[in-house]
Amino acid sequence: MKRLEALRELGLRVGKLGEPVLAGLDETAAARKALALVSESGATAWTVPERWGGAASDGLCAPDEVSCRAMCALRAPLAYHSAMLDVMLVMQGLGSYSLARAGQPAVCERVLPRVAAGELVAGFGLTEPEAGSDLGMVSTRAEKHGTRWRIRGAKTFISNAGIADVYTLLARTSGEPGDGGKGSLTMFLVRGDAKGLSTRRFEVTSPHPIGDVVLEDVEVPDEERIGAVGGGLEVALGTLGRFRTSVAAAANGFARRALDESLARTSTRQQFGKPLSAFQGLAFDLAEMDTRLRAAELLVEEAANAVDRGERALEEVARAKLFATENASWVCDRAVQHFGGLGVVRGSVVEQLWRDVRALRIYEGTSEIQKLILSRALVARAAGK
């Protein structure tokens, strides 16, 4: 499809431009510059539905949706060049989609066009110290006082912590941690500069603005509640379902770069009088990297098509996320091996890719959680349910 091809080219252009510009900037400066680059290019418009000021969907998906194929088309080439460009693009969508999906129209109108333009930075607050894969353990509480909610608790591993202007955030409005979360959790829009909100940044293996968000009686007007009281888990899982395939696409972008780096190195580096690629052990590696990567790309295509058709596509999405992210780690690791000592020199391209790709097997549902989703669906089908 021409539209998707144009988005891939846009991603490559921004990636090529951004890669040298971002190198050497400190994390916050790099994050802000990366967001400026992706928003000036028009890419962030694809993170918000057309209905709320995003890009015209051109039939890729319904006008009140974010196109999964568009996100994948943009993320793979951005990741090829820079993890920071990739994360700053996707967080605009991940951090705002819950609002687009279930927020009150006046709030959507006020916030979402500015997210699409990159004027407001978005964050997504699910994870807590005791609630990771199991969101039923969320203990951050929201209590209603008149027309306002008061939120108290702590979130961790929140991308864009400290730089987000708005967070969509999951809190408990009834029940107790461990109750599974159905009917007892609610999503809210929380402003980054709200009284009582503080953040603490920490570092992960890849350049990625991330940290804790602490909420001490943060007040939110009821109109900034997202969706029904008790409907938060469904909204949060729907958001993950829309964006999870694009994590797989980003993984493929990292892996594609690693394969290209390996091809260049093994074709030119001579040992024992021949280029490394002439040794069958390494040549077979290249063939396997290529084949597995192509399989991952086709799984992403299948899942993204299904999501854009409006299907839940639990199995397709789980397969794509599981295989592409695990495979990308393997491909990047082989690339490090092909570079020998140079592969572990801090800051070399393949060393950076090896670190960049690791977190993708963990966030937005770990590999094990994808296996749970997929195996449950397979077993239920086999049992005729």
Shortest Cβ 376–ligand FAD spacing (Å): 11
Our answer to whether residue 315 is catalytic in this structure is no
Q: Which of 117, 204, 314, 377 binds ligand FAD (CB under 6 A)?
A: 204
Q: Which of 92, 159, 262, 266 binds ligand FAD (CB under 6 A)?
A: 159
* Cβ partners under 8 Å of residue 183, min gap 6: 174, 175, 230
Within a 10 A sphere around the Cβ of 1, how many other Cβ atoms? 11
Shortest Cβ 157–ligand FAD spacing (Å): 4
d(CA 36, CA 119) in angstroms, rounded, equals 9
For residue 42, state whether it binds ligand FAD (rule: CB under 6 A). Answer: no
Residue whose CB is less far from ligand FAD, 225 or 358 = 358
Shortest Cβ 173–ligand FAD spacing (Å): 18
Shortest Cβ 66–ligand FAD spacing (Å): 16
> φ, ψ for residue 213 (rounded to 5)?
-125, 120
Residue found by looking up tokens 């006082």 in the block: 145
Within a 10 A sphere around the Cβ of 341, how many other Cβ atoms? 7
Shortest Cβ 368–ligand FAD spacing (Å): 3
Q: Are 310 and 317 within 8 A, CB to CB?
A: no
Residue whose CB is less far from ligand FAD, 133 or 268 = 133
Q: Are 359 and 208 within 8 A, CB to CB?
A: yes
Look at the alpha carbons of 117, 121, 125, 128 in this order and tell me if their dihedral is positive or negative: positive
Site for ligand FAD in 351-370 (CB under 6 A): 359, 362-363, 366, 368-369
For residue 34, state whether it binds ligand FAD (rule: CB under 6 A). Answer: no
Residue whose CB is less far from ligand FAD, 136 or 230 = 136
Site for ligand FAD in 210-229 (CB under 6 A): 210
For residue 237, state whether it binds ligand FAD (rule: CB under 6 A). Answer: no
- Read off the tokens for 355: 């670190």
Q: Which of 46, 157, 243, 254 binds ligand FAD (CB under 6 A)?
A: 157
CA-based angle 141:147:151, to the nearest 5?
A: 20
Secondary structure of 193-218 in HEC code, one letter for each residue: CCCCEEEEEECCCCCCCEEEEEEEEE
Site for ligand FAD in 258-317 (CB under 6 A): none
Q: Which of 52, 80, 97, 124 binds ligand FAD (CB under 6 A)?
A: 124
For residue 192, state whether it binds ligand FAD (rule: CB under 6 A). Answer: no
Question: Counting beta carbons within 10 angstroms of the beta carbon of residue 146, is it exposed (0 to 12), middle (13 to 18) or buried (19 or more)?
Answer: exposed
Q: Are 123 and 160 within 8 A, CB to CB?
A: yes
Residue whose CB is less far from ligand FAD, 66 or 259 = 66
Check 143, 224, 364, 368 and give the catalytic one. 364
Nearest to 58 by CA among 102, 18, 2, 19: 2
Query: Which letter does DSSP use for residue 382 in this model?
Result: H
Shortest Cβ 128–ligand FAD spacing (Å): 8
Which positions are catalytic? Answer: 364
Q: Which residues of the chain form contacts with ligand FAD (CB under 6 A)?
A: 124-127, 132-133, 157-159, 204, 208, 210, 359, 362-363, 366, 368-369, 372
